[in-house]
Structure 1
Amino acid sequence: MATLRQTITNALLMTAVVSMATPVTAQDCATPGQWLTPGNQHAEAQPPMGWDRLARQRVVLLGEQHDQAAHHRWQLSTITALHSRQADMAIGLEMLPRKVQPALDQWVAGELDESQLLDRTQWYRYWGRDAERYLPILRFARDHRLPLIALNVTPEQRRELSDPASHQWTLDQRHGVPVPLAASARYRQRLMESFEQHSSEQLSSHISEAFIRAQLVWDSSMAAALANASHQHSLVVAILGLGHVQYADGVPHQLTRYGISDVTGLMPMAAADACLAPTGVADALFIAEPDAPSADTPRLGINVERTPQPLGPDRLVITAISPDSPAQYAGLEEGDQVVAIAGHEVRDTAQVRALMARSLPGSLIPVEVLRAGERRQQLVTLPSPSP
């Protein structure tokens, strides 16, 4: 079942990619930095509806492919433009569950540094993607005292609420998430296409329905939090995956139960795709070319597991070391507790992956470990790129 849950999670995070794989048959009609209305190949220098109208919306949804740095840069520039026209703004985050809201409030109030923020929100446990991509937006919110709103529920709560029996529970029992509105046939088809791409086992009706229910819980949770925030602020801007924005089938659909129709969905897209994008996929498209492929991420050559400690926080314990690996040559050993990599404290395997993705092949990085109660630093030389 753990494998199935991971498959579902991966597919949920990638629902937008399926419908964006449009074959290119026409010359690009726009250049990076321009805007388009889907179905109209006339490029403009600003959103087609204009910044002033955008700033008067109750909710603006900014989609993203999570691994694209260009998308996060566009989100920050869009937030900046909207804030210049509407100061009473809040920013909603798909990445975090509501239980960590106090930490976001403390961050905005200037009571936490970045390390404390990531630790208290359990960023790498709940999101698992490199925080460096999102920190510029979080810093902007802190600098301008803009509330940050955790929109999601925990994975455990999402699994609970995906059980059909939960439909009989009270709103409190459902962690404040109402029973989702039914998905459209178009949305169901897109979800199933995404799931089939990520599933290594034969799809059954039971599995497919569980996946759809999980996605609807995700949408309903974020819509409920956005609706609540919209009663407290003139404008709420949400940072979330493209799949929750496309065709207004995800979060916008769930917002209709609250009578919120002033919702605009914006998406970044490569010119080749945007120029052929179907009408209605979003209210406007920003032309953002994909990031250039990066070199292979260097590897330490260790397996680590998060292990509870009798006293103090959990630690990452090395459970295996690959032969002839940088870790072996540096003197790392099985049973070492990894404390920090390149000066950054680590407590989650996703954090290790993020730090390694930022590391340069051929560079020397310090790895601090705890061995037999003694803290020591091992210098690891990362392999150079293959010719």
Structure 2
Amino acid sequence: MTSPRSGAVRRRHEGDAHRRRIDCDRSSNHLTMRPTLKFAVLVAVFAPANVALAAGSGVFDLEIGDSERKGRQVQVVLDGITDTVSGELLTPRELVERLADTRVLLIGEDHTDMDFHRVQARVLEELHRTGREVMIGLEMYPYTRQAVLDEWSDGSLTEEEFVESSGWYENWGYRWDYYRRIFLFARDNGIPMFGVNIPRDHVRTVRTKGFEGLSAEQAAHMPETVNTDSDEHRQLFRAYFAEDDALHAAISDEQWEGMFRAQCTWDAAMGWNAQMALERHGGDDAIMVVLIGAGHVTYGLGAERQIAHAFDGRISSLVPVPIRDGDNQPVHEVRASYADFIWGVPPETAPMYPSLGVSLMGAVGSSPTSVIQVSDDSVAQRAGIRVGDVLLQLDQSELDSSVALNKRMAGYDWGDSAVLQFERDGEVRTLYLHFRRVPPETHNERERE
């Protein structure tokens, strides 16, 4: 059990009881369950990027977590909600009834799977329907960006103004449209939203230098404790990578440990900030619904484990489970300790919105838009983009960072085309991009080869 705030100034929560919200500048660790994002983890070791976890079916069936449930499985039913304690199938309304005494509800997500966000929205809508006081905790914003979330909740900003002034693409990067339904519902129904993350550079310091490397200013933003002592959590963290994955050979034990420290720090910070917001701004019956990556929720080893010792209330978890995994294998059951409730969703064959399918160098190099990875079957690969190419313009819009690329990509839909200007071997070139999906059967055929 580590106390990253030892010798540091007490946190802002203790001197601002008169404030209506916690002032909040965000970090985002992109925890997803998509195999094509495995390379991002390697980037996270060497660059100031964030960890992206990718899960195969093995992660669904680990004998870890709650001792009373880890020895058995429960069924995954498409569009059904399973109570993993009793094994009963529930409707959304019945789920909300079982959450009557829950104060913190952690809902895990795959950031680019719209069915995960649909589940989140349905739970929020049902909770609000009961008349219960609902609060929303958001992974994509640090607590230091709270003022702009208040402006959104107050109706002071249009969508366009909020996306721009909140630094959506700087803080997050995933397309606004994935979360639009949730944000509009919250604003239109007076549901307050809270940033629960911490600034990205603080977590990067923990990863590269350890807790002792935090400055006094950084330590003041940290939760009271960060627990890095769980062997089961280490087992889960490692399980996100296949044994024959090249990452195992590329990452040293010291780097693994740094990544794990960062993961625990994110878990603890988001759990702590959600708890503080609930205790300071919620009524006796309020429920804080925290929308975070599934890797922070599963098996109760993430945010829940970090705050359970200090939180006097029930914490529940809900994680959608696709009925096919990232390797296109059917998922009929998961370990009962995976989450308190699971919601069966369809497998995603392609994201709802197009992406280029590249990873960029970012701040680690002299050319931030230099391509360091091209995903298989991506728009970029099919267009002929290679590792080492430097992206310059997309439809005449300058590309000087991944943020600029994300903003520009938000204007495209499947079926659109664009003109990409890039540099290769010192020569400026141009090619046409066609945003077209690859049929699922094509993926399956290539996997069998």
Tell me the TM-score normalized by structure 1.
Answer: 0.74
Q: Contact 2:398 / 2:404 at 8 angstroms: preserved in 1? A: no
Deviation at 1:157, TM superposition (A): 1.6
Residue 253 (structure 1) aligns with = 305
Aligned amino acid, residue 290 of structure 1? P
**What is the one-letter code of the residue matched to 1:276?**
E
Give the superposition deviation at 1:286. Answer: 1.0
Q: Residue 62 of structure 1 contacts residue 265 of structure 1 at CA under 8 Å; is this kept in 2?
A: yes
1:159 to partner: Cα distance:
1.1
One-letter amino acid of the counterpart of residue 241, structure 1:
G
Deviation for aligned residue 1:178: 2.6
Q: Is there any run of 5+ residues in structure 2 with no aligned partner, and where? A: 1-39, 63-73, 325-329, 372-379, 385-390, 421-431, 440-449
1:124-172 CA-partner distances (Å, limit 9, x unpaired)? 2222111110111011111011111111112212112343243886687
2:53 aligns with 14
Greater mean deviation of Cα atoms: 38-47 or 229-238: 38-47
Match of 2:193 among 148, 152, 171: 148
Match of 1:105 in 2: 150
Conservation of the 8 A alpha-carbon contact between 2:103 and 2:315: yes
Quote the residue 2:134 is aligned against: 89
RMSD of equivalent CA atoms: 4.3
Aligned to 2:4: none
Q: How do 1:136-215 and structure 2 match up within 5 A?
A: 136-162=181-207, 163-166=209-212, 173-194=219-240, 197=245, 199=247, 201-215=249-263
Q: Label 1:87 to 1:274 Cα distance change in 2 as closer, same or farther (>3 A).
A: farther
Compared CA separation, residues 141 and 199, structure 1 to 2 (3 A): same
**Deviation, structure 1 residue 10:** 7.8
Q: 1:13 is paired with a residue of what secondary structure?
A: coil
Q: 1:88 to 1:170 in 2, by over 3 A?
A: farther
Structure 1 window deviating more from structure 2 (227-236 vs 159-168): it is 159-168
8 Å CA contact 1:183–1:249 kept in 2: the answer is no
Q: Deviations over 1:259-310 (max 9, x none)?
A: 2440000111134666411121111111111234369958699x9989xxxx
Instruction: Return closer, same or farther for 1:260/1:47 CA change in 2, 3 Å cut-off.
Output: farther
| Structure-2 residue corresponding to 1:125 | 170
SS at match of 2:224: coil
CA distance in 2, matches of 1:359, 1:340: 22
Specify whether residues 10 and 336 from structure 1 end up closer, same or farther in structure 2 by C-alpha distance, changes over 3 A only: closer
Select the residue among 43, 52, 57 that pairs with 2:102: 57
Please tell me the residue identity of whatever aligns with 1:204: S
> Deviation per CA, 1:191-235, whole angstroms, max 9, x where unpaired?
123256573753322111101100011001101111111212111
1:92–1:51 CA distance, 2 compared to 1 (3 A): same
Q: Are the structure 2 counterparts of residues 318 and 119 from structure 1 closer, same or farther at C-alpha, using a change threshold of 3 Å?
A: farther
- 2:339 aligned residue: 282
Query: CA separation of 1:340/1:147 partners in 2, compared to 1, >3 Å: closer, same or farther?
Result: farther
Q: How does 1:63-74 map to 2 (within 5 A)?
A: 63-74=108-119
Query: Aligned partner of 1:14: which letter?
Result: L
Closer, same or farther in 2 for the Cα pair 1:165/1:53, shift >3 Å?
closer
Answer whether contact 2:139 2:195 (CA < 8 A) is retained. yes
Mapped partners of 1:317, 1:271: distance in 2:
36
Identify if the C-alpha distance between structure 1 residues 215 and 246 changes in structure 2 by more than 3 Å, giving closer, same or farther: same
Shift of 1:43: 2.9
Q: Contact between 1:245 and 1:252, CA under 8 Å: does it hold in 2?
A: yes
> Matches of 2:307 and 2:100 in 1, distance apart?
18
| Residues 137/267 of structure 1: CA separation in 2 closer, same or farther (3 Å cut) | same
Change (3 A) 1:236 1:318: same
Give deviations 1:88-111, integer Å, cap 9, x for gaps. Answer: 221001112222211111111111
Distance 2:438 2:345 in 1: 30
Q: Which runs of 5+ in 1 are unaligned?
A: 307-315, 327-332, 368-379
The residue aligned with 1:238 is: 290
Q: 1:293 aligns with which of 333, 350, 356?
A: 350
Cα shift at 1:184: 1.6
Paired with 1:11 and 1:112, the residues of 2 have a C-alpha distance of 29
Q: In the alignment, is residue 135 of structure 1 matched against residue 180 of structure 2?
A: yes
CA separation in 2, counterparts of 1:219 and 1:188?
13
Give the secondary-structure state (helix, strand or coil) at the position aligned to 2:261.
helix
The 2-side partners of 1:278 and 1:385 are apart by 33
Contact conserved, 1:246 with 1:282, CA < 8 A, in 2?
yes
CA 1:10 to 1:186, structure 2 compared with 1: closer, same or farther past 3 Å?
farther
Confirm whether residue 348 of structure 1 aligns to residue 404 of structure 2. yes
- Contact in 2 for aligned 1:65/1:241 (Cα 8 Å): yes
From the superposition, tell whether residues 243 and 142 of structure 1 become closer, same or farther in structure 2 (CA, over 3 Å).
Answer: same
Q: Which amino acid aligns with 1:350?
A: N
**161-170 or 148-157, which deviates more:** 161-170
